[in-house]
Structure 1
């Protein structure tokens, strides 16, 4: 076990004049903390009514209207196979609108976060590789593992999550 004094957070609140490339939006999905590079984040919205789409994949919850544009809303927890607390009724739940590259084109999607925490700066050199499990698993959607306030935080590569696997299928 590592003594708390040896655990140094490598994520710090963003101050003035810091470069966007080093900024991530931290959010909670289930019991885990995840980060998304700010360059992909268009905006964070309160939860709004989501219109279901007929014959949609299970991870596509439906669409919402964002500034007169229909935007698909994805259940990221399902897509990443994350079990955890269902915060469907939580007042902390938010919709995060992202702009990613999928199949070589800019694409706007939204995800549901159980809570949006803060924007922080990170040092890519301080991130650890995903752990070795002794078996094969696809960690290509993870930039690395960091720490935030004593908790582990997984920095996600959202373009890899949504741009590679067939939509509606887990990102293996």
Structure 2
């Protein structure tokens, strides 16, 4: 079993693809928490009953079922929200299978919650920054999460001419993520005394 980090777990695809708006990052993270929580509980019940040869097939079937159900719930709750992030919800099934293979669901629940929370903070932060820089708005389409059908409220408009369009595209998200990682690594940290 690998260390309980989500390395090699394909989290970069939803992180860059869906965080063009704050509501998208928050929404995918909420669905991620729901699907991975249900997947972890179901696999805990099934793991001891499965033969090793059927473990991967069962986890793929379970993950696909859970993400399909989540996608259908999103369609009934808020169709515009589902249309905006629906492609990435399907990737959560693959995410669950990879996390299961890496031993993520065998770790302590506090460690899983910490790592999932860290992923959520990153999703929400990147969505917030990309929306601010790319659109010049804050909280656009938040009514999608509430299931509202009217699109009367467009968020707080901070710039009349929008923003830097590149920030809302996936390459812009990758550039922004790289800049954030570089800033994090350049931030001075106190060193322990010898």
**Structure with greater Cα Rg:** 2
Q: TM tier, shorter chain?
A: under 0.3
Higher helix share: 2
TM-score by length of 2: 0.22
